[in-house]
Amino acid sequence: MSRLSVNINKIATLRNARGGNLPNLIEVAKDCEKFGAEGITVHPRPDERHIRYQDVHELRSVLSTEFNIEGYPSKEFLELVHDVKPAQVTLVPDPPGVLTSNAGWNAREEQAFLKEVISDLIDAGMRVSIFMETDKEQISAALDTGTDRIELYTGPYAEQYPSDREKAVAPYREAALHAKKLGLGINAGHDLNLDNLAYFKSEVPELLEVSIGHALICDALYLGLENTIQQYLRKLT
């Protein structure tokens, strides 16, 4: 079964909209674990518009499942993950003001930079995944960075799924087979939801982990958090 890591950024967005501590991010994270989530993901950004750096420190001390911290490897971000030492660091190529992650790394052009960052993180005992699209040459270049895993950017899959799910998933299947052949672990994330997740899981081999936030939190408004997490877990069986 692929692991479900719940991205709790949207909980922090709601809290920050009014100030104070409602909803309580720490309690929500603990509830996600209690309800079956096998990991917690956060993506702190420089402007702290949702997850704050202090949140990351507070979460580290209470989580019992795998902690995954996503972000662009700026000096401040790298200092944070070295302090916190999560199980996994997912590197994304986002510029500071971007709304959400919407592209993978150019692992060929950024080879030297990624290699240095990843070596440093692995030496400190953290697993590393890098956000990638389905281009096989880029995935081969990702191997040369030293990363443990890639996280396939599934935005295009989710967009095309309603009109032609086989065409939508085909490049991901091929990318996963290529990554497996290279010895890279495979994660996935972005716009996966209750409608498209089960098919993605059934068609993409060796899928180790999905990170889902926006859709899951939206579903929880109607279905409740515990029920929602259980439904997502069933899609991954």
Q: What is the pLDDT of residues 127-152, one digit of tens each?
A: 999 999 999 999 999 999 999 999 99
> What is the per-residue pLDDT across 92-134, written as a single tens digit (0 to 9) for each?
997 665 555 567 999 999 999 999 999 999 999 999 999 999 9
Domain count, the chain: 1
The pLDDT of residue 1: 78
Q: Is 43 a catalytic residue?
A: yes
Give dist(CA 135, CA 131) in Å, integer: 12
- Choosing from 33, 38, 66, 70, the catalytic residue is 70
- Choosing from 33, 38, 50, 190, the catalytic residue is 190
Q: Is 190 a catalytic residue?
A: yes
Asked if 187 and 208 touch (Cβ cutoff 8 Å), the reply is yes
Domain that includes residue 182, residue range: 3-235
What residues does 209 pair with on adjacent strands? 3, 187
| Residue for token pair 């999560």 | 86
Listed in sequence order, the residues at least 6 apart from 119 whose beta carbon sits closer than 8 Å to its beta carbon are 146
Residue 107's nearest CA partner among 127, 82, 129, 77 is 129
Total Cβ atoms within 10 A of residue 206: 12
- Choosing from 38, 43, 50, 209, the catalytic residue is 43
Per-residue pLDDT of the chain (237 residues; tens, 9 = 90+): 799 999 999 999 999 999 999 999 999 999 999 999 999 999 999 889 899 999 999 999 999 999 999 999 999 999 999 999 999 999 999 766 555 556 799 999 999 999 999 999 999 999 999 999 999 999 999 999 999 999 999 999 999 999 999 999 999 999 999 999 999 999 999 999 999 999 999 999 999 999 999 999 999 999 999 999 999 999 999
CATH of the domain at 137: 3.20.20.70
The pLDDT of residue 102: 65
